[in-house]
């Protein structure tokens, strides 16, 4: 049975729902919407079950799973490729269409039509590249498995939260389009109240899940990739940031629009719609094959349809927004100071969004036009975003502390903190206070502006952060500790905390190296750092050279061991189970056992395998095997054959044998170390190098403290020598604390909204 029938049935339900909405047939609409969601839910459950039971008759399951995975890694494979993610996204959008059934207004029906069409479109993309495509040929006994770097609990959750966030933008997108259309025609009052109340709540959910998703991805990168960072401005990472920034602007404007319908009546719905547009853009970066990224999927059949959806979802809000502005514009209303502050904040945020969008889009455009490769480095993003980030923090402080009663005081505080920020830009205790290492790309031919911005001191982040925290205190004092106000304070306080961690942690991370011999357990060695100096090198050449210098830190080797995990021994019958059968000559069997004896003859290698109860001889090509080694052999049985021990019996004629450790889930090299500063222990733990059948992964030691982390990664192990890199990372935990404040604060805002509008 082809489970694609579920997708066709869902499509039929979607068509039925469209017809019911267009014709005003309530029963037809409800039945069609229920079919659309129900069959897509069923398809997701079938795919999830196939992963849970390791059904490798499906190519998609074989590609992203293995029978030896724990259940949560098996289930994470459902969203490991574009087929599964598009199916899951289609179901979420259909769920939004079903949710709109609870409303009976004209806006809800029209919005439901848009959402159903979106769900149909995504279902069509799934049919183009189905996760239920059968494996070509006989189903294998074992799957290829996930990339070893993805075998991490944080990455198992990252795709789920990503697409929960993406899926939640469909309803606000549809509502924004319909609201623009209706309000342009003069029926906007009732539509505004309904759209803002419901759309704002969906947008909050999308923002929360997008925040959590980026945090999970950052933690995964920090733990797994071995470089000790959480953000590298990779195109996929940067593309994920774009919808989050647009959502942030849309949330602020929608709240103000609800308070006064004349405020941001075009900009709020347009930015809300573009929250969905940029989720499609992020999907295009990952799946279109146009953008080069270590996170990108191989371009599939759905890539061009994602690009088509991107074009439509970008043009529709823009055209409707312009049309509404032309229809309803009249004499310009006098704007308030509060509106001007919000416009300034949104303008800065949109400039930052454009910088990120430019950095992501420019390389593929250059490649398309000139056939040349062009890379935008992280220095570009840091260089151009930082000044606007300072502006955003300062405007945030002004917006939080502003009220008509303290207008003059608020602007006076803004001027003072802005002046102190400008002064702090030039206070630089050392070269490591530069916000970017601009020396690597600044030359005499580059504009002076590059060097000027690159010279800004990292101390400049402290006055805006202090201003935001001060403004949070002012707001709490004036407005009280109501649930929503506490949420607002936590969100913006989290922004300030993240700002300090993001700026100072990379700048003040110290990196060292050390090597040990395997037998140097208990030996303490100083951690070495690279020192640059100008002069003559070892070969007598003049220039800038590096030398290893001992630091105040040291490391103690506590132990080294190697082992294998997840042996698939249960999949191979033991020697006893083989010898208990009635063997037939010429049939093929598989046997597993330990080497008891190995004899090399003129024609073959005879290996006697045993499991402690029975034994069998295997004839194979010559191998270097050791007594006690566990092997798996597959071959044809020959009966009554002369044996090396002088007797006669059955022999398994095998073309090849496999060492069971090679068939293991993973082979692990584990090193335990302790990092010291003088007599004080800073960190202690285990670092690993894991080898899988389809790749390798490094698992660093991360010992967390309030002041920062001790981060150590195993570089390589050659022979008896173990080398490692140790990083001391202060301020890093401020990033995770800030994200927690983000999520907690938005959770309080959602809870307050649900209480106010049950």
What DSSP line would sit under 305-357, residue for residue?
HHHHHHHHHHHHHHHHHHHHHHHH--SPPPPPHHHHHHHHHHHHHHHHHHHHH
Over residues 676-710, the pLDDT tens digits come to 998 899 999 999 988 887 788 889 999 988 888 99
Mean pLDDT in residue range 5-13: 95
pLDDT of residue 112: 94
Strands 630-642 and 648-659 come out as antiparallel
Domain assignment present for 369: no
35 and 164 together in one domain: no
How many CA atoms, within 13 angstroms, populate the side-chain half-sphere of residue 494?
19
Q: Coil, strand, or helix at residue 268?
A: helix
Task: Report d(CA 400, CA 341) in Å as an integer.
Answer: 10
Q: Which residue has the higher pLDDT, 437 or 517?
A: 517
DSSP classification of residue 538: T
695 and 640 together in one domain: no
245 and 297 together in one domain: yes
Mean pLDDT in residue range 58-85: 90
Mean pLDDT in residue range 604-615: 84
* Vertex 49: Cα angle to 48 and 51 (nearest 5): 65
Domain assignment present for 344: no
Domain assignment present for 358: no
Highest mean pLDDT among 464-468, 588-592, 710-714: 464-468
Given pLDDT bands bounded at 50, 70 and 90, which one contains residue 645?
confident
Show the tokens assigned to 239: 């593309």
What CATH number corresponds to the domain at position 557? 2.60.98
**Residue 715 is part of which domain span?**
510-565+666-730
Domain assignment present for 340: no
CB within 8 A of 214, min separation 6: which ones? 237, 240, 241, 244
Beta strands in 660-738 (DSSP E): 666-677, 680-692, 695-699, 701-704, 708-718, 721-730
User: Would the pLDDT of 21 be above 90?
Assistant: yes
Percentage of the chain modeled with pLDDT above 90:
45
Task: Report d(CA 722, CA 557) in Å as an integer.
Answer: 10
Task: Report d(CA 102, CA 757) in Å as an integer.
Answer: 14
Mean pLDDT in residue range 18-24: 92
Domain assignment present for 133: yes
Task: Report d(CA 162, CA 513) in Å as an integer.
Answer: 36
301 and 216 together in one domain: yes
751 and 670 together in one domain: no
Chosen domain end from 109, 124, 145 = 145
What average pLDDT does the chain have? 85
What DSSP line would sit under 172-230, residue for residue?
HHHHHHHHHHHHHTT-HHHHHHHHHHHHHHHHHHHHHHHHHHHHHHHHHHHHHSSSS-S
Domain assignment present for 484: yes
Domain assignment present for 471: yes
User: Would the pLDDT of 117 be above 90?
Assistant: yes
Chosen domain end from 145, 174, 206 = 145
Task: Report d(CA 411, CA 397) in Å as an integer.
Answer: 10
693 and 547 together in one domain: yes
179 and 302 together in one domain: yes
Given pLDDT bands bounded at 50, 70 and 90, which one contains residue 355?
very high
Task: Report d(CA 241, CA 253) in Å as an integer.
Answer: 19
Of 292, 261, 302, which Cα lies nearest the Cα of 374?
Answer: 292
103 and 24 together in one domain: yes
Given pLDDT bands bounded at 50, 70 and 90, which one contains residue 539?
very low
478 and 448 together in one domain: yes
pLDDT of residue 304: 83
250 and 306 together in one domain: yes
pLDDT of residue 345: 93
Over residues 391-433, the pLDDT tens digits come to 999 999 999 999 888 889 999 999 999 999 999 998 888 777 8
What CATH number corresponds to the domain at position 621? 2.40.50.140
Given pLDDT bands bounded at 50, 70 and 90, which one contains residue 293?
low
Domain count of the fold of the chain: 5
Of 267, 193, 197, 208, which Cα lies nearest the Cα of 243?
Answer: 208
Q: Which residue has the higher pLDDT, 198 or 63?
A: 63
Chosen domain end from 648, 663, 678 = 663
677 and 647 together in one domain: no
Task: Report d(CA 40, CA 407) in Å as an integer.
Answer: 54
Task: Report d(CA 504, CA 500) in Å as an integer.
Answer: 6
User: Would the pLDDT of 451 be above 80?
Assistant: no
154 and 281 together in one domain: yes
Domain assignment present for 91: yes
Query: Lowest mean pLDDT: which of 97-101, 109-113, 309-313, 403-407?
Result: 403-407
User: Would the pLDDT of 605 be above 70?
Assistant: yes
């Amino acid at each position: 049975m082809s489970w694609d029938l579920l997708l066709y049935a869902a499509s039929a339900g979607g068509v039925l729902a469209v017809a019911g909405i267009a014709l005003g047939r309530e029963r037809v609409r409800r039945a069609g919407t229920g079919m659309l969601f129900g069959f897509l839910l069923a398809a997701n459950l079938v795919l999830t079950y196939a992963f849970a039971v390791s059904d490798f008759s499906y190519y998609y399951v074989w590609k992203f799973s293995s029978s030896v995975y724990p259940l949560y890694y098996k289930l994470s494979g459902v969203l490991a490729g574009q087929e599964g993610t598009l199916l899951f996204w289609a179901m979420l959008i259909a769920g939004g269409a079903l949710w709109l059934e609870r409303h009976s207004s004209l806006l809800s029906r029209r919005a439901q039509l848009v959402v159903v069409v979106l769900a149909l479109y995504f279902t069509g993309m799934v049919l183009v590249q189905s996760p239920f495509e059968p494996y070509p040929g006989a189903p294998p006994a074992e799957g290829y498995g996930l990339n070893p770097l993805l075998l991490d609990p944080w990455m198992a959750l990252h795709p789920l939260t990503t697409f929960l966030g993406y899926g939640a933008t469909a309803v606000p997108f549809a509502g924004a389009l319909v609201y623009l259309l209706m309000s342009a025609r003069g029926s906007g009052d009732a539509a505004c109240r309904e759209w803002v109340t419901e759309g704002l709540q969906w947008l909050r959910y999308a923002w929360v899940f997008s925040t959590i998703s980026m945090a999970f991805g950052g933690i995964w990168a920090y733990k797994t990739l071995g470089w000790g960072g959480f953000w590298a401005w990779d195109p996929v990472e940067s593309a994920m940031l774009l919808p989050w920034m647009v959502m942030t602007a849309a949330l602020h404007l929608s709240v103000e629009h609800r308070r006064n319908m004349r405020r941001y009546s075009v900009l709020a719905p347009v930015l809300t719609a573009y929250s969905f547009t940029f989720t499609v853009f992020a999907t295009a970066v990952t799946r279109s094959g146009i953008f080069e990224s270590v996170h990108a999927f191989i371009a599939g059949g759905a890539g061009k349809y994602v690009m088509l959806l991107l074009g439509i979802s970008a043009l529709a809000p823009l055209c409707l927004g312009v049309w509404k502005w032309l229809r309803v514009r009249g004499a310009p209303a006098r704007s308030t100071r509060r509106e001007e502050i919000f416009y300034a904040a949104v303008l800065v945020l949109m400039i930052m969004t454009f910088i990120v969008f430019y950095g992501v889009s420019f390389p593929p455009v250059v490649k398309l036009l000139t056939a040349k490769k062009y890379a935008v480095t992280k220095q570009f993003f840091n260089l151009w975003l930082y000044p606007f980030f300072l502006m955003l923090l300062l405007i945030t402080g002004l917006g939080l502390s502003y009220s008509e009663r303290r207008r003059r005081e608020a602007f006076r505080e803004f001027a003072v903190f802005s002046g102190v920020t400008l002064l702090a830009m030039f206070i630089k205790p050392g070269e490591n206070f530069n916000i970017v290492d601009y020396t690597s790309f600044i030359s005499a031919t580059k504009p002076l502006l590059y060097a000027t911005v690159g010279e800004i001191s990292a101390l400049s982040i402290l006055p805006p952060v202090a201003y935001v925290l001060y403004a949070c205190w002012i707001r709490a004092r004036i407005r009280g500790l109501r649930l929503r106000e506490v949420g607002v304070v936590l969100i913006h306080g989290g922004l300030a905390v993240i700002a300090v961690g993001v700026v100072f942690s990379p700048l003040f991370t110290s990196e060292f190296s050390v090597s040990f011999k395997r037998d140097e357990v208990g030996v303490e060695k100083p951690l070495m750092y690279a020192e640059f100096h100008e002069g003559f090198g070892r070969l007598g050449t003049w220039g800038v050279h590096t030398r290893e210098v001992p630091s105040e830190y040291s490391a103690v080797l506590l132990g080294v061991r190697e082992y294998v995990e997840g042996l698939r021994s249960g999949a191979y019958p033991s020697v006893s189970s083989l010898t208990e059968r009635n063997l037939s000559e010429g049939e093929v069997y598989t046997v597993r056992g330990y080497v008891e004896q190995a004899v090399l003859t003129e024609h073959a290698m005879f290996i006697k395998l045993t499991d402690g109860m029975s034994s069998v001889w295997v004839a194979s090509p010559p191998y270097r095997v050791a007594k006690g080694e566990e092997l798996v052999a597959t071959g044809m049985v020959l009966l009554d054959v002369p044996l090396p021990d002088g007797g006669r019996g059955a022999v398994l004629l095998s073309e090849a044998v496999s060492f069971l450790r090679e068939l293991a889930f993973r082979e692990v090299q584990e090193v335990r170390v302790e990092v010291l500063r003088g007599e004080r222990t800073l960190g202690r733990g285990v670092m690993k190098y894991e080898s899988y059948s389809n790749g390798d992964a490094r698992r660093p030691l991360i010992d967390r403290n309030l002041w920062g982390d001790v981060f150590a990664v195993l570089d390589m192990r050659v022979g008896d020598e173990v080398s490692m890199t140790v990083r001391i990372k202060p301020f890093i935990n401020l990033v995770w604390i800030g994200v927690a404040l983000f999520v907690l604060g938005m959770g309080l805002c959602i809870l307050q909204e649900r209480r106010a509008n049950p």
